[in-house]
Amino acid sequence: MISFEDLKIYCKNKHFSLSENAETIYESIKRRRGMCPCRVDEVMCPCPDHLDEIDDVGHCKCNLFVRTYYDPFPKFRRKYPDLFDIGGYFISFGFGPGWEHIVDLACSRIQRENEKFKPEDRMKIVQVKEKFGGLRLYTNMYTDETEKIIDIAERAAAETCENCGSKEDVSAKGGWIKTYCAKCHEALGRK
Ligand SMILES: [Zn+2]
């Protein structure tokens, strides 16, 4: 039977965590000697369906696990207020936590490049996203230097696990292609 501590460890670095009611739900799991409390079939917790359920409705059936969202935007907007023109051409800003340092470096380099221009002529970042397992960063204007900065960031992301930042055993694969290390492919990958 999985211990409560192990459940916490199990959730670490994943896209979900234990819910607010986890301790109460764990009492039912204990009463059932480690079995999922809400299945007709006797299956051990974590049950085979929890990943699908978290993806589909945001939590597993017994509400032990809930999806957590990583939203890097508030932090970046505070750090680089001049790089984003919300309401202008801005589209979106989203990627996994493992790529944060790569995007951060690209932003600081673009900000430095921007100093060459008058404030009203400065570049804005309009979109940062993951597509087909790769990092995509778009600005509203480009200089040779910006293209270089973006190219370096996209290449670095291709060699870095989008989830945990590891550079070990990184590959792009899966049904929805994702760039993850072997451990994260195993933990987050869909069969
Ligand atoms: Zn990883």
Q: Please give the pLDDT value at position 187.
A: 78
* Structure tokens, 142: 């480009």
* Span from the CA of 32 to the centroid of ligand 1 (angstroms): 33
* Span from the CA of 117 to the centroid of ligand 1 (angstroms): 38
On the question of pLDDT at 137 being above 80, the answer is yes
* Span from the CA of 101 to the centroid of ligand 1 (angstroms): 14
Q: Please give the pLDDT value at position 14.
A: 78
- The CA distances from residue 126 to 21, 27, 138, in Å, are 39, 48, 6
* Span from the CA of 135 to the centroid of ligand 1 (angstroms): 15
Q: Please give the pLDDT value at position 74.
A: 87
Closest CA relative to residue 138, chosen from 79, 102, 87, 90: 90
Q: Please give the pLDDT value at position 191.
A: 39
- Long-range (24+ apart) CB contacts under 8 A made by 20-28 are 21/63, 21/64, 22/64, 25/62, 25/63, 25/64, 26/64, 28/62
What does the alpha-carbon distance between residue 73 and residue 70 come to, in Å, rounded to a whole number?
A: 9
Task: Collect all residues with Cβ–Cβ distance below 8 Å to 41 and sequence separation of at least 6.
Answer: none
* Span from the CA of 162 to the centroid of ligand 1 (angstroms): 7
- What's the longest Cα–Cα distance across the chain? 67
Q: What pLDDT digit, counting tens, does each position of 81-115 carry?
A: 999 987 778 888 989 899 999 999 999 999 999 99
* Span from the CA of 145 to the centroid of ligand 1 (angstroms): 30
* Span from the CA of 9 to the centroid of ligand 1 (angstroms): 15
- The CA distances from residue 142 to 95, 104, 131, 138, 151, in Å, are 22, 18, 20, 9, 12
Q: Give domain limits for the chain.
A: 4-67, 73-188
Reported pTM? 0.67
Residue 189: pLDDT band by 50, 70, 90 thresholds? low
* Span from the CA of 11 to the centroid of ligand 1 (angstroms): 14
